[in-house]
Structure 1
Amino acid sequence: MTEHVTITREPGGVCLVRMTRPEKKNALTGAMYDAMREALVAADREGSEIGAVVFAGVEGAFTAGNDIADFVARASQSVGEAPSLRFIRQLAATRTPMVAAVDGIAVGIGTTLTLHCDLVYATPRALFRMPFVDLGLVPEAGSSYLLPRRIGTAKATELLMLAEPFGGDEAVRLGLANAVVPADALVEHALAQGAKLAAKPRAALAATRALIRGDHAAVAAAMDAEAQAFDAALRTPEAQAAFRAFLDKGRARA
């Protein structure tokens, strides 16, 4: 476990998974990915006690995406062993309903994570972005498959290839979020919605959820294809240069 992810049991059968690394804008380390994956596994295992999982960050930051320094340090791992990929696969496999409470930046996995959530709420200052191509990489978390089916190929191409950022209102307009909520009410609102889900008849809710989500095998296949392409992209000069530039910028600020 890690001190940068806090996991609490909330009233109404809701598990709150909160990323708490504000000094790094919740940039995710391997330990943070592992802690969140374990929380999802536990939620499925304890289905009679937990009826929903809510993901949240800190004020002004859902997550800045991968911690690049931690990511580079793990470069010798095979892609299949990466904590990020294990978490992503668990997101797609989790049977417990999931809710995202997005305040501030939601970069990379901060956006693609929400594609696996059943309900998504954002604040007026939420800012979603998937800058994979800008880093010399490719999309992950099944986003290359899920996003075109959610919002159409043209808009998905814009968001994934041009890496255009978009706010909470646009996320609602596109159907990627359910509502924009004031920042001071965001987590409370997400927990309340999670509790509503947890109070529903579990079998009927699970069956409805499975029908809505469709073929898990197709999502898993897309994730596998992305993982292979991601692994190859990591070794390209473009990705290596992008990582070096990011790390050098961080050292200059230190």
Structure 2
Amino acid sequence: MTDNILITTEVRVTTVTIDRQDKKNAITQAMYGAMADAIEEYGQTDTARALILTGAGDMFTAGNDLQDFSIQGSGKSEEMPPVGRFLNAIRDCPKPLIAAVNGPGIGIGLTMLLHCDLVYAGQSATFGAPFVKLGLVPEAGASILLPASVGMAVANDILLAGRTLTADEAHSYGLVARVFADADLMTEVQAIAQSVAQSAPVALRRSKALIRNQKDQIADHMAAEISVFVEQLKSPDFAESVAALMQKRAPNYG
């Protein structure tokens, strides 16, 4: 458990908030474990019928804590790491997942949205996945789900060229359902979540299952991605990206 993940449940709506504002809400393995626990519990119980993922302050998440991943990536444990549990939890959750993107969503902050059923953004939200700039590869099924969501050309612009989308651009490409004023985002999303929570629960589950009917294919693709991702965590390129980050300089990949 970690103090950096806040979990509240009110009137059958659970809200999971990433709260590590001093580190731009960058996510550690401990934080992934706490979010996985919350999402797994939500999926298995009737305490809540809608779940909101959001960030504290003016940042959704800056993505993975690279220093934490550098340490974890050198390990040899056969146990599934917390990030793997989190990715499986958002992929397999049988109930509605709602994202309220309240600021920049970088890396996993973008790719997790591809597993959410309803995605809303504040006007100041931005979306980017600079994996190749860090010596890494896409994860969370992004290399198949992002092209399916925004089209191959835009997906390549994001994943290969490192383009960052504004909230309005993300909406125009279908990555985001609606964009709200920053000050109104949580009020609007909570109202939507309450509406979802009041719907017939069995119909919600079955509708989601019909919409997400390629889960097995996505699971296989995610497994292939994570294998390459783990290899890259041990690569000289990733080591250089972490060193450059710590030394506040541009990486030199030779």
TM-score by length of 1: 0.94
Q: Deviations over 1:4-44 (max 9, x none)?
A: 11100022x11000011111110001111111100001101
Extract structure 1 runs of 4+ deviating beyond 4 A. Answer: none
> Are residue 44 (structure 1) and residue 4 (structure 2) matched?
no
Structure 2, unpaired ranges of 5+: 250-254
What is the SS of the residue equivalent to 1:63?
coil
Give the Cα separation in 2 of the matches to 1:152 and 1:69.
Answer: 32
Give the Cα separation in 2 of the matches to 1:191 and 1:37.
Answer: 21
TM-fit CA distance, 1:45:
1.6
Q: Is the 8 Å Cα contact of residues 73 and 230 (structure 2) preserved in structure 1? A: no
2:58 to 57, 60, 66: 60
Within 5 A, what are the aligned runs for 1:1-254? Answer: 1-11=1-11, 13-46=12-45, 48-78=46-76, 81-249=80-248
Q: CA RMSD in A?
A: 1.4
Q: Is the 8 Å Cα contact of residues 98 and 194 (structure 1) preserved in structure 2? A: no
Give the Cα separation in 2 of the matches to 1:72 and 1:234.
Answer: 7
Q: Is the 8 Å Cα contact of residues 100 and 186 (structure 2) preserved in structure 1? A: yes
TM-fit CA distance, 1:82:
2.2
Instruction: Count matched residues.
Output: 248
TM-fit CA distance, 1:76:
2.6
Q: Is the 8 Å Cα contact of residues 80 and 86 (structure 1) preserved in structure 2? A: no
Kindly, what percent of the aligned residue pairs are identical?
38
Q: Deviations over 1:135-177 (max 9, x none)?
A: 1110000111111111221111111111100111011100000
TM-fit CA distance, 1:80:
6.2
What is the SS of the residue equivalent to 2:73?
coil
What is the SS of the residue equivalent to 2:147?
helix
TM-fit CA distance, 1:235:
2.2
Q: Is the 8 Å Cα contact of residues 29 and 68 (structure 2) preserved in structure 1? A: yes
